[in-house]
Amino acid sequence: MEKSILITGAARSGKSALAERLALRPLGRAVYVATAEAWDDEMRDRIAAHQARRGAEWDNRHAPRDLVDMLIETDGDAPRLVDCLTLWLTNLMLGDADWRSEGERLAAALMHQKAPVIFVTNEVGAGIVPENRLAREFRDAAGWLNQTVAQACDTVILCVAGYPVRVKPNDFDF
């Protein structure tokens, strides 16, 4: 098993740019696994802005729901960048899929991957408790998914203002 990395942080904290640097570092090329569904124009603009940063060194794939199968299918020598887990979770929840089973399948599949996977995810639970019940369920699910994937990764990074803060492994004795 190769080393996998989870990059979390606030919106616009530089997670994707950092993930791209890390994914290209070993070979100069990598597989980009987008999870976003282009539901509306705003999302289409965001996807276009992200793609504009990427060149020919990227093999672009799209896995809004079948992420585990996509990782199995693309497991060769090149790192895979999954951007991002929170959009994947959104798609699963909106499609009434069993997101908890899918999250556990993802963590289990990571153990058998030959090439590394770099995941981008989001911190969504550090604001005031949302009044909207669906929003509360989503932030609970996102927190659970982040913990579940973090356990299966060798490295966890918190991105702050474009810079990485080490979360796992660390020298904190517990």
Task: List active site positions.
Answer: 50
Nearer to a copy of itself, 30 or 74 (CB): 30
What is the rounded CA–CA span in Å between residue 150 and residue 166? Answer: 13
Q: Are 15 and 43 in contact (CB under 8 A)?
A: no
Nearer to a copy of itself, 52 or 161 (CB): 161
Q: Long-range pairs for 53-61 at CB < 8 Å and ≥24 separation?
A: 53/16, 53/17, 53/20, 54/20, 57/24, 57/28, 57/29, 57/30, 58/29, 58/30, 58/31, 58/32, 59/29, 59/30, 59/31, 59/32, 60/32, 60/34, 61/31, 61/32, 61/33, 61/34
Is 115 annotated as ligand-binding? no
CB of 8 to a copy of itself, least distance (A): 6
The helix (run of H) or strand (run of E) holding residue 61 is: strand 58-62
CB of 63 to a copy of itself, least distance (A): 21
CB of 36 to a copy of itself, least distance (A): 13
Is 10 annotated as ligand-binding? yes
CB of 97 to a copy of itself, least distance (A): 19
Q: Which residues contact 54 (CB under 8 A, 6 or more apart)?
A: 20, 32, 60
Binding site for a copy of itself (CB under 8 A): 6, 8-14, 18, 21-22, 42, 121, 123-130, 133, 135-136, 138-140, 142-144, 146-147, 149-151, 156-158, 160-168, 170-172, 174
Is 108 annotated as ligand-binding? no
Is 97 annotated as ligand-binding? no
The helix (run of H) or strand (run of E) holding residue 52 is: helix 41-52
Nearer to a copy of itself, 6 or 61 (CB): 6
Nearer to a copy of itself, 28 or 56 (CB): 28
Q: Which residues are annotated as a binding site for GTP?
A: 9-16, 34-36, 83
Q: Which residues are annotated as a binding site?
A: 9-16, 34-36, 83
